[in-house]
Amino acid sequence: MGITFLLLASVVIYLGLAQRALDRMRLSDRGALVVIAAIIIGSFINIPIPFTPFNTTVNVGGALVPIGLAIYLLAMAGTGKEWSRALVGAVVTAITVYIIGSLVNSGSTVEPAGRYAVLDAIYLYPLVGGIVAYIFGKSRRAAFISATLGVLLVDIFHYVWLLRNGAPGNYNVAIGGGGAFDTIILAGIVAILLAEVIGESFERLSGGPGVEGRPPELVRGLQKPEFSAPGERNGDIRVEAESGVVSDNRRKVDLDKHEE
């Protein structure tokens, strides 16, 4: 009984968090739900990759969907700066995680997880990915890209390690094999949430994104076309805007710059 409730509650909270996190990734609410559904259903699909030295499989939900989303975000990014920030973030994440997880915390008689295994790998990836991405790009999307591609890169490092150390041919490499609970997904989601908490706190503490005194062209350029969205909603905004109450003398508009 207790266990059933526990399982239900944790799954609901996990998926709820995942949905809120994906919401921030240039996806609509509906889009985020579709991605979650794809991750869950895709968890059960492993695609074998032929002509590789080991039994290599790629899981749809645990690898293809999140990596596809990361590539989509990169493609939508537009500016070279955003590209390079996200990719550098991914490489730095991968190297850091590899050093901590594979070089420092190793040794055949260090049990069960290595000498400095203070933080489990499932938390290490998102923590490093989220922090690195925030330092490089101050961005939730970059956090997601860094964390997911970072884990993938570590998998590639490991593949090279296997080749160099003569792993047996029947070695299984299941990229994203954990499906919805794979480290790739966990890393991506926790990294976004981390960036969100850090980002929102800093933005709020610094008084929020202000537009006062900024050139109107800049403010206009930073707005999104979707801002106007459906006509009726737009009407709502106008009504509420007219009937608003004074609560702050600072003018605020959410500059997208702070969220990219």
**Minimum CB separation from other proteins for residue 49, in Å?**
15
Task: Indicate the residue among 81 and 161 with the shorter CB distance to other proteins.
Answer: 161
Task: Indicate the residue among 84 and 106 with the shorter CB distance to other proteins.
Answer: 106
**Minimum CB separation from other proteins for residue 25, in Å?**
6
C-alpha pair distances (Å), 188 with each of 112, 146, 238, 247: 26, 8, 37, 37
Task: Indicate the residue among 41 and 102 with the shorter CB distance to other proteins.
Answer: 102
Token duo for residue 197: 């908490």
On the 0-12 / 13-18 / 19+ scale of CB atoms within 10 A, 98 is middle
Task: Indicate the residue among 81 and 115 with the shorter CB distance to other proteins.
Answer: 115
Any idea what the Cα angle at residue 154 is, between residues 148 and 157, rounded to 5°? 145
**Minimum CB separation from other proteins for residue 51, in Å?**
21
Residues 6 or more apart in contact with residue 169 via CB below 8 angstroms: 53, 54
Task: Indicate the residue among 51 and 241 with the shorter CB distance to other proteins.
Answer: 241
How many CA within 13 A on the CB side of residue 150?
A: 39
Cα Rg for the chain, rounded, in angstroms?
21
How many CA within 13 A on the CB side of residue 229?
A: 10
The answer to whether residues 56 and 49 touch, using CB atoms and an 8 Å cutoff, is yes
**Minimum CB separation from other proteins for residue 204, in Å?**
5
Task: Indicate the residue among 52 and 234 with the shorter CB distance to other proteins.
Answer: 234
- Find, among 65, 181, 63, the residue nearest to 122 by Cα: 181
**Minimum CB separation from other proteins for residue 20, in Å?**
10
Q: How far apart are CA 198 and CA 194, in angstroms?
A: 6
- Find, among 180, 190, 66, 167, the residue nearest to 121 by Cα: 190
**Minimum CB separation from other proteins for residue 45, in Å?**
12
**Minimum CB separation from other proteins for residue 116, in Å?**
6
Task: Indicate the residue among 81 and 204 with the shorter CB distance to other proteins.
Answer: 204
